[in-house]
Amino acid sequence: MPRPSIVLDTCALRDTKFTNWLKGYIGDILIPPTVYMEICRQHKEKNHSIEELDEWLNALSIKVLRFDKNNARIAAELMAERKDAQCEICKKIDWVDTIVASYYNAGDFIITNDKTGFPTSGDFGWKFLTTDEFMSR
């Protein structure tokens, strides 16, 4: 039986227990470009190479979703309608993550250990789970 496809947030990628668990995962594992940007920055700040990061992502079969003009337009329109989503820059990034994943119909779940910045699951029909919640399914 195929496993659900999942979209990971930066917090999920920082969870070593979860990333070790992912090594045997059969199903699409995806990250939005904003998550890739965040982990690249974190890697560079620790004086690690981006090539090393890319090798790690490839070893886990994690694919980076594309962000284009349509994603940007949809994100801007939805954030303009939902003033409560505009309170912090990180919440804006979490919204963009969700919109990119939604645009590509990319996954069955968004995995994060910080659900506070994301839109409610009713906004896009997503199921948000923590790493522990997902591993215990």
CATH of the domain at 90: 3.40.50.1010
Domain boundaries, position 52: 6-134
Kind plus residue range of the DSSP H or E element containing 39:
helix 33-45
Q: Between 104 and 80, where is the model more confident?
A: 80
Q: Give the global pTM.
A: 0.66
pLDDT band at 89 (very low <50, low <70, confident <90, very high): very low
The predicted pLDDT at position 39 comes to 92
Q: How far apart are CA 61 and CA 71, in angstroms?
A: 24
Q: Between 124 and 133, where is the model more confident?
A: 133
Contact criterion met (CB below 8 Å) for 29 and 61: yes
- Residue 1 belongs to a domain: no
Give me the chain's average pLDDT, please.
78
Tally of domains in the chain: 1
